[in-house]
Amino acid sequence: MELASAKAVITGGASGLGFATAKSVIDAGGQVALLDVNDEQGEKSAVELGERATYIHADVANEADVIAAVEKANAFMDGITLAVNCAGVVGAARALGREGTMPGEFFAKTISINLVGSFLIAKETANVMQNNEPNDGGERGVIISTASVAAFEGQIGQAAYSASKGGLVSMALPLAREFARIGVRVNTIAPGIFMTPMVAGMSE
């Protein structure tokens, strides 16, 4: 994958890891579509990145939003060769908290955004990538999801978050095996903690 020719869909692209990833693609000469729900910051970030970037509102947990956003990104860039899943929520809460047990809705929302959202982006972008002309190595696209060290070393209060990130780790291999036939690579990274607006907003 040459970033100079990349046509990237980046979720959570308005800020933090997503924006940093987008900037790397733009700096290398590629194009980006920033998907996020923070419209004000998303528009600002797209302007900062320049004419090879666009912002598209999309709730990654909403399948209709994802389908529409991928279609818009495909139209803007005239193709998609890279998808990077950076959208997510921390989902920090104890199963047995001081004010009662963790609501099932809280757990489900964390899974929906972090895991289901990444799956929806993966399948929809792969559907576009399979029509790309392969490069010399037979590659038509790359999909990268962002898990976390919490997938392997979850701490107290991270039951929902760790489950969602563990799901991303488990999902990588079967998707990689399935998409290999169409020349699409699938990878999942598991970084440790680093400062982003989402992390900065966490309670101590």
Terminal Cα-to-Cα distance of the chain (whole angstroms): 39
Name the CA dihedral angle for 100, 104, 105, 110, rounded to a multiple of 10 degrees: 100
Q: Give yes or no for a contact between 201 and 163, defined as CB atoms under 8 angstroms apart.
A: no
The tokens for 106 are 């809280």
Options 19, 55, 76, 161, the catalytic residue: 161
Closest CA to 6 of 35, 17, 22: 22
Distances in Å between the Cα of 185 and the Cα atoms of 3, 74, 131 are 15, 19, 14
Closest CA to 52 of 11, 8, 20: 8
Looking at residue 144, what DSSP letter applies?
E
Bridge partners of 33, per DSSP, are: 9, 54
- Rounded Cα distance, 28 and 1, in Å: 12
Strand order, beta sheet including 141-146: 53-57, 31-36, 7-11, 82-85, 141-146, 184-189
161 noted as active-site residue: yes
Which residues form the catalytic set?
Answer: 161
